[in-house]
Amino acid sequence: MARIIAVANQKGGVGKTTTAVNLAAGLARAPKRVLLIDLDPQGNATMGSGVDKRELSASITEVLLGEVPIEQAIVRTAEDFDLLPGNIDLTAAEIRLMNEDGREQRLKRALGGIAGRYDFVLIDCPPALSLLTLNALTAADSVIVPMQCEYYALEGLSALIDTIEAIRGQLNPGLEIEGVLRTMFDVRNNLANAVSAELINHFGERVFRTIIPRNVRLAEAPSHGQSIVGYDRASRGGIAYLGLAGEVIRRQREREQAAPARATTE
Ligand code: ADP
Ligand code: MG
């Protein structure tokens, strides 16, 4: 059964999409079977995976609305992972779903039939604690929280933690924090180091050991429709995201070893 991981933080520009795309590519290279879901109307994960968001025959929008079976909307990327693409149509879908029963469970239901085909499903969330993000957190086993180590970062984090706890209470009791990921990190920045220390104080082992440095190659890759693995795997950003993929795989293996009965019956 796939490990379903939402990449979420209601703050924009913290590295959610960069993490979702590059972790997908890193896991695919392992090689793991990976599905990346673009749940952000901006469609950045779609473009960054080399798929044109303006030319989709079907997308996550139709899947959430129950108009198209999920298999029909999934496309294969050049980097050996599957993509359930998204674009601006998601905004309209969100409004239409607003008044429907089970509106938070649409993605979970859609994934039910196909999750077994993958080792990992990654969901790139929009920068808001919206109905779309609730769908991701309801479908997910865990959340990766990318964050920039700056002054207001911890404050924003508490809103997300509150949301995760609310979801645990109602829609998804098993939801875990997969890890907090330090992104765009600059080791020469004292504030970043101080915030990083505070993060470890608060989240302990839940902070990924891997730190994603600020690296221009990571910012360039999407304009080539490539992940950093395809664009420049040997760059500092490439090495970091491959390291993150290794860490995610290791944690998954440890979980499976800790619960062998569960792993074999699923
Ligand atoms: P989000 O999805 O949270 O809004 P993005 O992943 O789109 O954030 O990142 C915001 C911007 O920062 C993008 O232009 C992206 O290319 C750039 N970026 C992300 N991570 C890094 C990094 N580690 N180093 C340099 N630029 C980065
Ligand atoms: Mg994004």
Residues with CB under 5 A from ligand 2 (ion): 16-17, 44
How many structural domains compose the chain?
1
Residue 266 pLDDT = 46
What's the complex ipTM? 1.00
Average pLDDT over residues 138-150: 97
Ligand 1 atom 20, closest CA:
15
**Are 70 and 114 contacting, i.e. CB atoms less than 8 angstroms apart?**
yes
Residue corresponding to tokens 């604690």: 129
For 117, the 3-state DSSP assignment is helix
Average pLDDT over residues 40-50: 98
Asked whether the predicted pLDDT for residue 1 surpasses 90, the reply is no
pLDDT tens for 65-85 read 999 999 999 999 999 999 999
Looking from the CA of residue 213, the nearest atom of ligand 1 is: 23
Residue corresponding to tokens 């196909």: 114
Looking from the CA of residue 219, the nearest atom of ligand 1 is: 16
User: Which ligand is located closest to the Cα atom of residue 8?
Assistant: 1
Looking from the CA of residue 146, the nearest atom of ligand 1 is: 3
Name, in order, each residue with C-beta under 8 angstroms of 32's C-beta and a sequence gap of 6 or more.
Answer: 119, 120, 249
Ligand 1 residue neighbourhood (C-beta within 6 Å): 12-18, 44, 127, 183-184, 212, 214-215, 218-219, 222, 237
Amino acid in position 2 = A
Phi-psi bin for 50: left (phi > 0), alpha (psi -120 to 50), beta? left
pLDDT tens for 9-34 read 999 999 999 999 999 999 999 999 99
pTM over 0.90: yes
Q: How far, in Å, is the centroid of ligand 2 from the Cα of 262? A: 34
Cα 41 from chain centre = 15
Q: In the chain, pLDDT over 70 holds for what percent of residues? A: 97
Residue 261 pLDDT = 60
pLDDT tens for 151-183 read 888 888 888 899 999 999 999 999 999 999 999
Q: How far, in Å, is the centroid of ligand 1 from the Cα of 101? A: 35
pLDDT tens for 178-227 read 999 999 999 999 999 999 999 999 999 999 999 999 999 999 999 999 99
Print the domain residue range for 232: 3-265
CATH number for the domain harbouring residue 126: 3.40.50.300
Asked whether the predicted pLDDT for residue 258 surpasses 80, the reply is yes
Asked if omega into 31 is within 30° of 0 (cis), the reply is yes
Task: Out of 18, 130, 208, give the residue to mutate to test ligand 1, the one with the largest number of ligand atoms within 8 Å of its CB.
Answer: 18
Separation between Cα atoms, residue 251 and residue 247, nearest integer Å: 6
Ligand 1 atom 21, closest CA:
184
- In degrees and rounded to multiples of 5, residue 125 shows phi and psi of -90, 155
Mean pLDDT of the chain: 95
